Amino acid sequence: MHIANIDRRILLVIAGFGLLLTLLTLRLFYLQIVQHQHLSQLALRQQERTIEVQPARGRIFDRQGRPLALNRQSASFYAVPREIQAPDVTARKLAARLGVPARRLARRFKSRKAFVWVKRKVSDKAAQAVRDLKLPGVHELKETTRVYPEGKLACHLLGFVGLDNQGLAGIELQLDRAIRGQSGWIRITRDAQGRKIPASTRVHKRSHPGQDVYLTIDKMIQHIAEKELARCLADTGAQAGSVVVMDPRTGEILALANQPDFDPNHFNRYPPAARRNRAVTDIYEPGSTFKIVVAAAALEEGVFQETDIIDCEQGRGVFDGLVVRDHHPRGRLSIKDIVVYSSNVGAVKIGIRLGAEKLARYAKAFGFGRPTGIELPGEAGGILKPYHQWHRWTATSVPFGQGVAVTTLQMTAAYAAIANQGQLIKPWVVKEMRRPDDIRTKVGKPVYRERVISSRTAARMRKILEAAVNEGTGQKAVLQHYRVAGKTGTAQKPLTSRRGYDPVYHVASFIGFLPADDPEYLIAVVIDGPHGVQWGGVVAGPVFRKITRQLVAYRGLPPGPQKIYAFAREKKNNRYDPRQILSEVPNVIGLSFNQARKKLSASGLQAQRLGQGGQVLGQRPLGGRRTSPGSPVTVYVADPEHAGLTDQTSSQVVVPDLEGQSLRDALQIIQAYGLRAEITGSGLVKRQDPRPRTRVKIGELCAIHGEDPEHTP
């Protein structure tokens, strides 16, 4: 009996083990077969970290290939909360070195998230301080940071990017899809303690860098425009201002400057008002610069001739109950003199004879009331109501620039139509785009729009505008030895709180081009709210002159009467294209003189040597500019060692000796050395600052003084 009980217990134990084994087998089957995929994914999530790798944004260059926006590697730090043993202590240590509130970090470290950011794109000094702490659970990741090496230069045109390298303004926003590239991902495997397993990092998806962008602007011209605009605001106490420099033959924007400005490297330190691209987004009533529309329309329609006389009623006229006044009372004036002396009364009488419907049609044809189509975000179309919506006083006020609102860029394009044989041309800033393999994906080209006026009327208007500079309100824009055409404007500012105009502040402007008979450069200057004297000719005219004085020296525009090119005519659409007879100057900087001579000769141009040495460090005209076939191109030749340029990573150069050089040659040499120049006087260089053979940083400003500063135009 006792033995039987023992056997029964043994059988029960065996049966129990069998049942347990069966249950374990079923459990293993369930885990390894049924739940295999789910558990494998769970293990991967616990063991692996997938981190996005941002691509390098495409770089941005000026028309000469000089960098305006680049990238650099920065350290970013993230944390895995479950790996942090003392969240509060870790947070305090990091906060002291990264400037992030400790409480915020502690909350992140106590969360149940698998991944939290500590701080992204920190300085090199702060990054090293964090590395030295060797904190468990805190890890480093390399990211690219956008860098603008020229600081504020062309800030409104370039724009800026956010923390995730997304474009937020300017070209960075407009072309973000192409510049940004495609993100990638990497996977990092960790052990049970959360430590990275060596050689476990693998690429899940490769990132692809964005496309490089080459703009039409010239860095040196942009610097000149910004410098003179800032100086004007400082001298006049104005609230804001804009300058646009354009090649009216092609529509290329050579410079676009606004004040106030900002540093895109630290854009969040500036108010939104400083970051606004006013030349493109802000509208204003243009005042007398708009008189080109009514004058050109009247000449084109044959309503008046330049010599026809109109009674300007000593500067006070009443039209349908609206009183119109002139600043300087005058009596009988010709159509030409109404523009030259900027008579509002005369402009209104021209508009009345022309008729409101035709006036509205020509204003629209000149591009007002619609965006120009430039490759920049937020462009305003201005205000030009359809003719059937005009108030009974609109036809009276529009001829002298009231009752219509424009942008600086629109006014630039309108004047370009007169400079460009009467044909409207689209402004543009993107010269070309290239993939990382150097394949061009976009090449900019001039876009000619409708013909506004005939070439004959355009030529008549250019003569009238030249007289406005030489005889009329634009005399402070005169540039000695050059033929300048342009028009002043002094416009009232509409009140924002109620109807009417500001009794104190005005908008002063000057828009002009040179040479007057064959324009190569068109410059619009708009100054908002200057204190004291507010006339466009007095405030904006001198800014135009200062910019053009440096521009012609920099670009090598010869003084004196200019050759009038016989523009080739396309018979079918009656359009003119100056590029058909002009040769594009190749870029020969960096070549030997013999190589440069051959390259220029292949383009039908002649090489003129300046200096001694084995390498071309500068040229005039610059590469990309168009000139007549057979024209000379001056190349500045020197040894890189003499220029202090042997170390391409060096940030310093040796200032060359410029004494006795012409101002033009001196400017070309200074540019070849990577320096900026401020020129005063005329003739030959008499003195310079810094002195020759001084070692300075690349980009330093050098003052070059001519022999006769007192009589500088």
Q: Are residues 364 and 285 in the same domain?
A: yes
What are the structure tokens assigned to 75, written together?
């350290």
Q: Are residues 434 and 503 in the same domain?
A: yes
Whether residue 560 is contained in a domain is answered as no
| N-term to C-term CA, the chain | 133
Q: How many structural domains comprise the chain?
A: 4
Whether residue 524 is contained in a domain is answered as yes
Whether residue 450 is contained in a domain is answered as yes
pTM over 0.95: no
Whether residue 567 is contained in a domain is answered as no
Query: In terms of residue numbers, what domain contains 673?
Result: 578-711
Domain boundary residue among 163, 183, 215?
215
- What is the distance between the alpha carbons of residues 212 and 200, in angstroms, rounded to a whole number? 33
3-class DSSP state of 456: helix
- What is the distance between the alpha carbons of residues 125 and 98, in angstroms, rounded to a whole number? 10
Q: Are residues 124 and 43 in the same domain?
A: no
Q: What integer pLDDT is reported at residue 185 of this predicted model?
A: 65
Whether residue 568 is contained in a domain is answered as no
Q: Are residues 38 and 164 in the same domain?
A: no
Q: Are residues 292 and 409 in the same domain?
A: yes
Nearest to 172 by CA among 164, 181, 180: 180
Domain boundary residue among 215, 236, 263?
215
Q: Are residues 32 and 180 in the same domain?
A: no
Task: Write the CB contacts of 403 (distance below 8 Å, at least 6 apart in sequence).
Answer: 285, 391, 393, 394, 397
Q: Which range is least confidently modeled, 16-30, 260-274, 349-363, 404-418? A: 16-30
Q: Which residues of 469-486 are buried (b: 16+ CB within 10 A; e: fewer)?
A: bbebbbebbbbeebbbbb
Q: Are residues 60 and 170 in the same domain?
A: yes
Side by side, the strands of the sheet bearing 252-259 are: 252-259, 240-247, 521-528, 501-514, 485-494
- What is the distance between the alpha carbons of residues 377 and 281, in angstroms, rounded to a whole number? 9
Q: Are residues 180 and 98 in the same domain?
A: yes
Q: What is the DSSP string of 523-568?
A: EEEEEES-SS---HHHHHHHHHHHHHHHHHHHHT---SSPP-----
State the catalytic residues. Answer: 288
Q: Are residues 194 and 278 in the same domain?
A: no
Task: Write the CB contacts of 398 (distance below 8 Å, at least 6 apart in sequence).
Answer: 290, 294, 351, 359, 360, 363, 404
Whether residue 278 is contained in a domain is answered as yes
- What is the distance between the alpha carbons of residues 553 and 666, in angstroms, rounded to a whole number? 9
Q: Are residues 473 and 620 in the same domain?
A: no
Q: Are residues 174 and 232 in the same domain?
A: no
pLDDT digits (tens, 9 = 90+) for 521-572: 999 999 999 998 889 999 999 999 999 999 988 887 777 554 333 333 333 3
Q: What is the DSSP string of 586-648?
A: PP-TTS-HHHHHHHHHHTT-EEEEES-SSEEEEEESPTT-EE-TT-EEEEEEE-HHHHT-SST
Q: Are residues 476 and 614 in the same domain?
A: no
pLDDT digits (tens, 9 = 90+) for 134-157: 888 888 888 888 999 999 999 999
Contact 378, 280 (CB under 8 A): yes
Is the pLDDT confidence value at 647 over 50? Answer: no
Q: What integer pLDDT is reported at residue 662 of this predicted model?
A: 76
- What is the distance between the alpha carbons of residues 394 and 514, in angstroms, rounded to a whole number? 33
CATH of the domain at 291: 3.40.710.10
Q: Which 8-state DSSP code applies to residue 500? A: S
Domain boundary residue among 155, 187, 215?
215
Helices 344-354 + 356-365 axis angle, to 10: 100
- For residue 671, give the amino acid letter: Q
CATH of the domain at 89: 3.90.1310.10
Q: Which range is least confidently modeled, 97-101, 366-370, 642-646? A: 642-646
CATH of the domain at 610: 3.30.10.20
pLDDT digits (tens, 9 = 90+) for 502-512: 888 899 999 99
What are the structure tokens assigned to 148, written together?
């603008």
Whether residue 562 is contained in a domain is answered as no
Contact 339, 356 (CB under 8 A): no
Whether residue 303 is contained in a domain is answered as yes
